[in-house]
Amino acid sequence: MQEFWKMTASEISDAVRSKKLSATEVTKAHLARMDEVNPKINAVVQEFPEEALLAAQQVDDAIARGEDPGVLCGVPVTVKVNVDQKGHASTNGVRLLKDLVAQDDSPVVTNIRKAGGVIVGRTNTPAFSLRWFTKNSLHGQTLNPRNKNITPGGSSGGASAAVAAGICAMGHGTDIAGSIRYPAYACGLHGLRTTFGRIPAYNASAPDRYIGAQLMAVSGPIARSISDLEISLAAMSATEMRDPWYRASPMNGDDFPKRAALTLAPDGMSIDPDVRTALVEAADKLKSAGWTIEEVDCPPMRRAANVNARLWMADTQFGQKDLIEREAEPDSQFVFEQMSLDAGTVGLESLMGALQERVGLIRQWELFLQNYPLFICPVSGELPFSQQLDVSSKEAFANVFEAQLTQRALPVIGVPSLSVATGEVRDRPVGVQLVASRFREDILLAAGKDLEKASEPISVADPDWN
């Protein structure tokens, strides 16, 4: 079996479209790779090879008829288990939801299929998608294929592990407080948190979400190249009117000056020296690519993170507290308790205050991003955490929570942000975060490509431990 699983999504799409490869042989290679490495890392927790091969054959049949299947032509893709895929359980890592079988695809899954993507499996998430670590009592723990002693990230940890290990070329993730950006960072990949409203969202298997998730949770791609993010974004964001928040918007905006702001320690957050070095080196690479960089203070991060906490916990305390208690999964119970202590009991006054404050924060950030089309900041204040660090003690959780300040703050603003892998330090991946104004993913992708050109290509990881 040839190692087609080492190819990027863009390379696969081009090769299948030009008939150099068939979608079927590419899919078979990725399914074989899954058989080889998934037992070691537990990234994919729902497998359906026959269904994947049927989808691949449909792509090949379309090409034989002279049709273009779409931008993800024959690309092996994984989907996170917290979105609906017809015929499969939307478990969200929860035992109580193991039989919640979707009767229809969510819009993002519909769009992946329409673009010619071949879904090869569904990936793990922590229970309730509540952590930056991926473990639950239903599906078990996911390991990072680059280093089993560190988290693969969360909540899209299964997606990032699958992409890093070559099980798929693109992984679908969701992000309400870093769940795309942080797994990409932890696994040495690129991950795009899209603008709120860019990619349609809806799960018919469950009631509509409450206001916090409605305003902050988004889908987006995790991949090994920036071009892969670009074609995945085009596929995922196709018009789908089941989401009332969805907004059709051009993929490219007006011309922009190559001017960027750099903030090494937003709101005085603690930054590991190696993370700081990665930021400075990335800024230097962008300078060499023609960007003007100014080191400045950014608009408030802590206030935005506090708004995130209140909106998210308002949803969770009101809508999921009973389910969390009945699930009795120790890690999610501990994390929910710690997050509730941080946010406090969110009543009507607190919720209304958070919604009011959010508007002012968006205003400040949008004005800032009009002046600086690109903003550079840490993905995390620390290198990727050791496994299960957040639940090891209250003090450890507090340190993890602080390190993830930018992860928690930016979803409140609704802007797109891109986690770009830049290398490895002390056997752990490292990277930087790029931010742009709403619906300006094109700026992020342009800057990401400049960084990518100046960095080593991302390789597929081999989890070769015993």
Which residues are annotated as catalytic?
80, 155, 179
Alpha-carbon Rg for the chain, nearest whole angstrom, is 20
d(CA 231, CA 385): 30
What would you measure as the largest C-alpha separation in the chain, in angstroms? 61
Burial 244-258 (b: 16+ CB within 10 A, else e): eebeeeeeebeeeeb
Q: How far is CA 404 from CA 72, 90, 212, 378, 397, in A?
A: 32, 27, 18, 9, 11
Q: Which residues are bridge partners to 294 per DSSP?
A: 261
**Residue among 120, 164, 126, 119 nearest 142 (CA):** 126
d(CA 277, CA 265): 12
Residue with tokens 């907004």: 247
d(CA 150, CA 386): 4
Q: How many CA atoms lie within 13 A of 272 on its CB side?
A: 22
3-state secondary structure of 377: strand
d(CA 422, CA 458): 9
Q: Do 27 and 53 touch, CB atoms closer than 8 A?
A: yes
What is the SS3 assignment for 157-222? HHHHHHHHCCCCCEEEEEECCCCCHHHHHHCCCEEEECCCCCCCCCCCCCCCCCHHHHHHCEEEEE
d(CA 9, CA 19): 15
Let me know the angle formed at the C-alpha of 246 by 83 and 43, rounded to the nearest 5 degrees. 25
